[in-house]
């Protein structure tokens, strides 16, 4: 593992804050008048962040957050796979976003890119990157799924032939609701604990993923934001949003880290939750319906680019 310097960390922070700005600008372009509200915050230990939330006509609720937090002791969620780091101090920075469109035909999207650095006496600073982007439709569209995954492939291609395949499989495995035996969405890419390339190359990979998100999502949102819908589609959207809430509260490592570490802000951590949601006991869509097609066809870990050879 190559060394990390304060200059390296500053460069990552500058990129992440700029990424937040660019994504917010491109999402605001969909709204006639609504704009992101920024809640800037500071912590006594030097931690800071910019929580940005949008409630508009196209985006019912969107959040694009930047945070840079520090802590004296790693929480259990961060040391589960790295017990040798238990007791170390840390700093973590990243951009995390979730977009919940109003139109049920427009998918929810999520992205996150981050850097983690751990300091422990007797060890050189340990660093790793993580991130990815994934798509959660309510009414599936094959063209959207292919475009989304093609952007992920294109973003990662300069770094090696196998990264998309590895990170796609990791995304399918990670965003899986074990208690329902169901994928959260149609996937994308996900990676964590990444330091197998030198720091600058690992950073460049993270940048490519962060920049790739809006290139993948912008045309999908534009395509579906004005699709006509009625009460049936809205009702289904609200029930499926329940699955999103279940995953974030039960399984999501970022949510768990934020709450366990005490370094984040609860409002910012739970920003990802949709504004309206339904749970109906024993709810099942009608067999053979467009609603049933979501789980029967789309949420199956499908190989959208036809890359599997076996």
Residues belonging to the active site: 110
77 carries a ligand binding annotation: no
Distance CA 137, CA 295 (A): 10
CB 270 within 8 A of CB 53: no
149 carries a ligand binding annotation: yes
96 carries a ligand binding annotation: yes
**Cα 121 from chain centroid (whole Å):** 32
241 carries a ligand binding annotation: no
Q: What order of strands is seen across the sheet that includes strand 48-54?
A: 37-42, 48-54, 59-71, 89-101, 108-119, 126-136, 187-194
Rg (CA), the chain: 19
232 carries a ligand binding annotation: no
10 carries a ligand binding annotation: no
Distance CA 22, CA 274 (A): 23
β-strand partners of 95: 66, 113
| DSSP letter (8 states) at residue 286 | P
Distance CA 310, CA 305 (A): 14
List binding-site positions: 96, 100, 110, 112-114, 149, 179
List binding-site positions for substrate: 96, 112-114
């Amino acid at each position: 593992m190559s060394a990390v310097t304060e200059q390296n960390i500053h460069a990552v922070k500058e990129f992440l804050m700029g990424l937040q700005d660019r994504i917010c600008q491109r999402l605001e372009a969909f709204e006639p008048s609504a704009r992101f509200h920024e809640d800037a915050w500071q912590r006594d230990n030097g931690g800071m962040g910019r929580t940005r939330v949008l409630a508009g006509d196209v985006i019912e609720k969107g959040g694009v957050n930047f945070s840079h937090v520090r802590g004296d002791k790693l929480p259990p969620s961060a040391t589960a796979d790295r017990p040798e780091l238990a007791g170390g101090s840390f700093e973590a920075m990243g951009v995390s976003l979730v977009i919940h469109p109003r139109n049920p035909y427009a998918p929810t999207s999520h992205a996150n890119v981050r850097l983690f650095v751990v300091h422990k006496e007797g060890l050189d600073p340990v660093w790793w990157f993580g991130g990815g982007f994934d798509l959660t439709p309510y009414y599936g569209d094959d063209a959207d799924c292919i475009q989304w995954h093609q952007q992920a492939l294109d973003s990662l291609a300069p770094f090696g032939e196998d990264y998309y395949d590895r990170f796609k499989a990791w995304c399918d495995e990670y965003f899986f609701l074990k208690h329902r035996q169901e994928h959260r969405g149609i996937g994308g890419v996900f990676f964590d604990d990444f330091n197998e390339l030198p720091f600058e190359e690992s950073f460049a990979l993270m940048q490519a993923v962060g920049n790739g998100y809006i290139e993948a999502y912008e045309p999908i949102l534009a395509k579906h934001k004005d699709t006509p819908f009625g009460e049936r589609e809205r009702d289904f959207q609200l029930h499926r949003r329940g699955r999103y809430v279940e995953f974030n509260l039960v399984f999501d490592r970022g949510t768990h880290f934020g709450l366990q570490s005490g370094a984040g802000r609860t409002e910012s951590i739970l920003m990802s939750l949709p504004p309206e949601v339904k749970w109906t006991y024993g709810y099942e869509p009608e067999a053979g319906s467009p609603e049933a097609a979501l789980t029967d066809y789309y949420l199956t870990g499908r190989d959208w680019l036809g890359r599997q050879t076996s």
